[in-house]
């Protein structure tokens, strides 16, 4: 439907979903794990990404979502679909936060950054990866996409965020 999902609809879905992966975090949890959103890794069309650490010291990337730019349907779709995806070539959603209008997704941390940043790191200098490494990356991306389209039990719609 065209309208934004009501807060109650979002809360009902998330309450029913919490027994499955990923874990639900409070906004206070996110502030603790990111040291009050201290280290920004990047920014996209729907919000910002910060470096964080789970209580077990596992590094994570916390993607905050500006609710004015994203509706509840997109948020729920990402939690419901990506939260059930487990593949070595697809970043894993570990958790989420939804407190009224504060929404965020907690992903496993990729120490080398995004593929986009690796390939297009600077407009002045080309990517300095060897062809063998580029081939390895391309095969990994292809395997991840193949899994999302054919091997996974969820219907995944890929889109740019």
Q: What is the DSSP string of 129-149?
A: --HHHHHHHHHHHHHHHHIII
In a domain, 100, yes or no: yes
State the binding site. Answer: 63
In a domain, 156, yes or no: no
In a domain, 53, yes or no: yes
In a domain, 71, yes or no: yes
**4-14 pLDDT tens trace:** 566 667 766 66
> Could you tell me the residue range of the domain that residue 143 belongs to?
7-151
The structural domain count of the chain equals 1
> For position 161, what pLDDT does the model report?
45
What global pTM score does this model have?
0.73
In a domain, 20, yes or no: yes
State the binding site for ATP. Answer: 63
> For residue 139, what is the domain's CATH number?
3.30.200.20
């Amino acid at each position: 439907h065209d309208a934004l999902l009501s807060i109650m609809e979002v809360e009902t879905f998330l309450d029913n979903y919490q027994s499955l992966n990923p874990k639900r975090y409070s906004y206070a949890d996110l502030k603790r794990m990111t040291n009050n959103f201290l280290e920004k890794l990047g920014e996209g069309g729907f919000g910002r990404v910060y470096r964080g650490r789970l209580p077990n010291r596992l590094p994570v990337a916390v993607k905050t979502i500006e609710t004015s730019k994203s509706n509840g349907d997109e948020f729920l779709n990402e939690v419901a679909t990506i939260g059930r995806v487990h593949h070595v070539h697809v970043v894993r959603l570990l958790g989420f936060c939804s407190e009224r209008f504060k929404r965020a997704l907690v992903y496993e941390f990729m120490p080398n950054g995004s593929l986009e940043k690796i390939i297009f790191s600077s407009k002045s200098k080309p990517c300095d990866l060897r062809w063998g490494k580029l081939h390895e990356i391309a095969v990994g991306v292809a395997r991840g996409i193949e899994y999302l389209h054919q091997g996974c039990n969820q219907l995944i719609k890929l889109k740019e965020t």
